[in-house]
Amino acid sequence: MKSNNMVKDKLGWIDDFRAKPGECGSPLARKIYLQSLIQQGTSVRQLRLMGFSRSMVDEINTRLANEAYGPKVNDLVRTKDDSVGVVTWINLEYPANAGVLVDGKAEIFYFQALEVISESQ
């Protein structure tokens, strides 16, 4: 259905029951709903049929993978150059990165450049 026929709110977001879930509401609301659907086991094909864009599905899947597999605050990590440090903060926005304290100096690393040596409990 064309978006120019849809009811829109004052911010210009589609607010119409005829719209697909992936087209309706603000981007933040769609991302929250999408994350919930993914965590419930909705297939990628179903998400596509619901109107969610490939980029949004990719963004949420990447964020969930980074949360599950990436380092966490207080983890001991090794960097690509064999330095060892402690994770002090995490940013899961694309591209995911982390602040690591190495030899008393704070540095920023991409998740792919870090290997968890010991997880904090």
Are residues 82 and 58 both part of a single domain?
no
Instruction: Read off the pLDDT band of 3 (50, 70, 90).
Output: low
Domain extent for 19: 3-69
2 pLDDT higher than 60: no
Find the mean pLDDT for residues 64-88.
Answer: 88
Q: What is the pLDDT of residue 24?
A: 83
Report pLDDT for 10.
80
Distances (CA, A) of 47 to 83, 86, 94: 41, 38, 21
Are 32 and 49 part of one and the same domain? yes
Q: How confident is the model at residue 106 (pLDDT cuts 50, 70, 90)?
A: very high
Structure letter (DSSP) for residue 14: B
* Same domain flag for 43 and 19: yes
Number of domains in the chain: 2
Q: Does 64 share its domain with 89? A: no
Residue 47 amino acid letter: L
Task: Calculate the CA 86 to chain-centre distance.
Answer: 23
Q: Do residues 21 and 64 both lie within one domain?
A: yes
Confidence tier at 49 by pLDDT (50, 70, 90): very high
* Whether residue 114 is found in the same domain as residue 65: no
Q: Verify that 80 and 30 share a domain, yes or no.
A: no
